[in-house]
Amino acid sequence: MTDTTDTTDTTDTGSNTGITIRDAAADGPHGSIPIRVYAPSAGGVHPGFVWNHGGGFVGGDLDMPEADWVSRSVAERGFVVVSVFYRLAVDGVHFPVPSDDVVAAFRWVAAHAAELGIDPDRLAIGGASAGGDLTAGALLRLRDEGGPLPARALLAYPIVHPELPPFTDELAAAVERHSPDDPPFEPGAVREMNLNFAGDEATMADPYAFPGLADPTGLPPVFLLNSEVDTLRASGEAFAASLAAHGVTVLSLFEPGAQHGHLNRPAEAAARRSIERIVTWLSTPALP
């Protein structure tokens, strides 16, 4: 794949935080994929992290805090971060198009690791919410379609099932504490969101679209970070249990007190705590 970086000067100094930021594009089967590269200003070779924002498959962009603030925060701690603007499930777009973009973007980064200043042996992938579903699906596709596999993966409050799994008593009690100003995701709304992404009922059973249905054997180590006060935690925790049952190294925890999408709210202490958890996970050497 070729680098289609815009030759206009879009470099940002990252608000003098020791990083540089530039817009670029990766080649994909449906055309170019906008990406944004965040790198330590000092240069050199660093671990890499490909990041996929959320937005219910129909929203989000490279400027939202869940994309930009997360990417800046991780890059400031010594990573080259590539944030991906995959095609959204709007205007007749459905699976597998967004998934194709996420897979293609990861492969582009892996192929261009040297010029991006990334150690290819320390290249990870991650995603939040709908981006977490796309990330988990990409792991399965990379496993089954010849790779390359990332060294590890982060899934933040993902929805990876076509319908929400049953709530535990503990989760049901936590959801009762949900802010009335930000109501939780109801099972019917989750199914409607997922059906729009899938495009039809048959695709709702496709494990590449909804990795919670898949056999995840052979995936790299996964950090599954949920929000405590979030109905979607039922999906994330069920997937973590499946990963562990199939021999995948998994760290599963929730951010106490946090509601869904907390990485999109940088002012919250939960978001800042999660950044430190994410960086610690990405930096931990020699995971099994």
Residues belonging to the active site? 129, 230, 260
Task: Say what the alpha-carbon torsion angle 132, 140, 219, 64 is, to the nearest 10 degrees.
Answer: -20
Crossing angle of helices 269-283/65-75, nearest 10°?
50
φ/ψ of 33, rounded to 5, equals: -120, 115
φ/ψ of 163, rounded to 5, equals: -135, 145
Q: Determine how many CB atoms are found less than 10 A away from the CB of residue 101.
A: 27
Crossing angle of helices 130-144/97-111, nearest 10°?
70
Contact partners, residue 232, CB within 8 Å, separation at least 6: 129, 157, 158, 159, 164, 185, 190, 226, 260
Largest CA distance in the chain: 55
Question: How many whole angstroms separate alpha carbon 13 and alpha carbon 234?
Answer: 40
Contact (Cβ atoms closer than 8 angstroms) between residue 71 and residue 85: no
